[in-house]
Amino acid sequence: MTDISNSTRPFRIYADRLFVGDGRESENMVVTYMDGVITDVASFDPAKPMPENSVHTPIAAPGFIDIQINGACDRQFNESPDVETVTAIANGARAGGTAYVLPTHTTAPGEDYVQAMRAVEAAVIAGVPGILGIHLEGPFLSTEKPGIHAAINIRPIEPRDIKNIGSFTGGKVLITLAPECQPKNSIQNLVSEGAIVFAGHSNATAQEIEQAISEGLAGVTHLFNAMSQMTGREPGLVGAALASDQLYCGIIADGHHVAWSNVKLSAGVLRCHLCLVTDAMRTLEGEETEFSVHGKQIRLQSGRLTDATGRLAGAHIAMDACVRNIINFAGVDAATAISMASTNPARALKMDDQLGYVAPGYRASLSLLSDGYRATGVLVDGHFFHVDRKP
């Protein structure tokens, strides 16, 4: 994937359809940017020729943001927490139209997550495009809802962990934890250190989630998966998330993790609080079909990643496919679906003053798509990349 523009001259993207954020769409619009910032958004006459330093696209949208991605291009963040892996994850994500990622480090022994934090910091210093920070999914989870995570390494958070997390200088820190398993005030202390805290791999009751919200809980990781479900008299984490008007919820729209009827329900209830995530593993834009994670052999077959028992182990999907899926199988309109991949995660990360919208003053970030919502290019802070997709 090649960066074809990082010019200090004005560059223009001509879009037949432009999604500007918040579910709004316009036709025949040109986006001008320079020095990594959008300088103008205006209409154009499609009968007139385009000037030099410009690109035409059927669809342009705010740059997609994936807040949960574990690997790509045959590299897994847990296995090789280094700059090369962070770069591979960003490259693999861009093939699906994603401009920005939070490389996700899952449950590992002790304080292994610190090495992952240092890798992201080094990648940011090295100027790797599209890195917004890090997502630590564990080890502060529930052994009752481990999913594919190694339960032996799951533990409660400790003061030294909060100090470690507070030392991160590579952007945003998203922490997935099980609120019911943590010492009192842990969420509040994490938030005071600048972390964004999501609940996941949790068996919490709705009451425990309400308490966590009062302490600063901001969202839910992969809604429906590895969490307490909704019943008639106990809403659980799923019910608490659907009933909340505050929590942002990630959801994996691959047709394997969540039934389409539940995706449709979530989209209808949550709308501007629902975030599409890929939860992609190393097979994304890779050559391998088998690998090991947490000591378990994982196999890719018919689009599913599972261990020997059939338990799901992350996903094999790109963000543009998630957008297509939620349109085609959950009945979500295109503008809302695109917001779920861009505007909503920008809000969840408290970055909607910079990303998630196409407007003057915002970072020059766009996802370019075909009429069928397949990625054809990605703009990341003024760096334009053509998408070279694997067949």
Q: Mind telling me the catalytic residues?
A: 279
DSSP string for residues in 209-225: HHHHHHHT--EESSTTS
Closest CA to 291 of 318, 310, 309, 313: 313
Q: Token digits for 235? A: 């809403």
- Contact by Cβ (8 Å): 172, 346: no
The runs of H, that is alpha helices, within the chain are 83-94, 113-125, 159-166, 186-192, 206-215, 236-243, 260-270, 319-328, 334-341, 343-348
Q: How far apart, in whole angstroms, are the C-alpha atoms of residue 381 and residue 391?
A: 27
| Full strand arrangement of the beta sheet holding 219-220 | 64-69, 98-106, 133-137, 172-177, 196-199, 219-220, 248-252, 274-277
CA distance between the termini of the chain: 14
